[in-house]
Amino acid sequence: MNWMLWASFAAVSVVNIVTPGPANLNTVRRAVQLGGKRVIPTIFGNALGLAVGGAVCAAGIASFVLASDMLWTLFRWVGVAYLAWLGFRLLTKADALGLDEALHGSVGAKTLFLEAFLLAATNPKALLFYMALFPQALDPQLDLVPQASILILTYCALSVASLSIYSALAHMLRSRFMSQTRYNRFRQFSGVLLLGFAGKLLLGSR
């Protein structure tokens, strides 16, 4: 692998990862609700979802999906529907702010993991990111499997680092400034943003 290309891939990935999006928003929301340590399943669920997307692209399945209008439309609608569903839940379903340790068991690790995994795995924008950068960073003269594995692991590791920082900052702020009323407003704001992401994804071009 050309390590200069790898460094360029990593730099572009950092910019893409730290930019506010559904994964960052979901992690911050859960960290505000439950605390930084409790969102570890969220962070790694997101990483696994990104890894699955990268593996799909590396295997060439994504090219097939993008070549079919029907499959691409279906994939995009799945992502839109899940984002919209999460946003609607935030606007309509109340959650207790977990400043009390007794409330920390109200949301299980499995729920947090699957929520983040589905959010990452159903986002076509992550797929497009891989599709755009893989051809630039992969050397067709070398074995593609180890190269793609390195790129996917790099992206996932950067995502874990970014979400860990987001969750740590949210944890620092929650005990000082957060109350149930403020958390309810934050949930509603998050719901509106997620619905906005869903609308942007729906209206975005292929």
What average pLDDT does range 102-126 have in this prediction? 80
> What is the pLDDT confidence band of residue 28, given thresholds at 50, 70 and 90?
confident
Q: Which residues contact 147 (CB under 8 A, 6 or more apart)?
A: 1, 137, 138, 139
User: Residue 189 is encoded by which pair of tokens?
Assistant: 């704001």
> What is the pLDDT confidence band of residue 104, given thresholds at 50, 70 and 90?
very low
Check: CB of residue 23 under 8 Å from CB of residue 116: yes
Residue 62 has pLDDT above 70, yes or no: no
Four-residue CA torsion sign, 169, 172, 176, 182: positive
Among residues of the chain, what percentage have pLDDT more than 70?
82
User: What does the pLDDT look like over 122-162, one tens digit per residue?
Assistant: 877 777 778 777 777 777 677 878 888 999 999 999 999 98
> What is the pLDDT confidence band of residue 39, given thresholds at 50, 70 and 90?
very high
> What is the pLDDT confidence band of residue 102, given thresholds at 50, 70 and 90?
very low
Residue 99 has pLDDT above 60, yes or no: no
Q: Would you tell me how many other CB atoms lie within 10 Å of the CB of residue 132? A: 12
Closest CA to 178 of 35, 22, 21, 23: 35
The pLDDT value given to residue 198: 76
Residue 205 has pLDDT above 80, yes or no: no
Residue 197 has pLDDT above 80, yes or no: no
- 195 or 104, greater pLDDT: 195
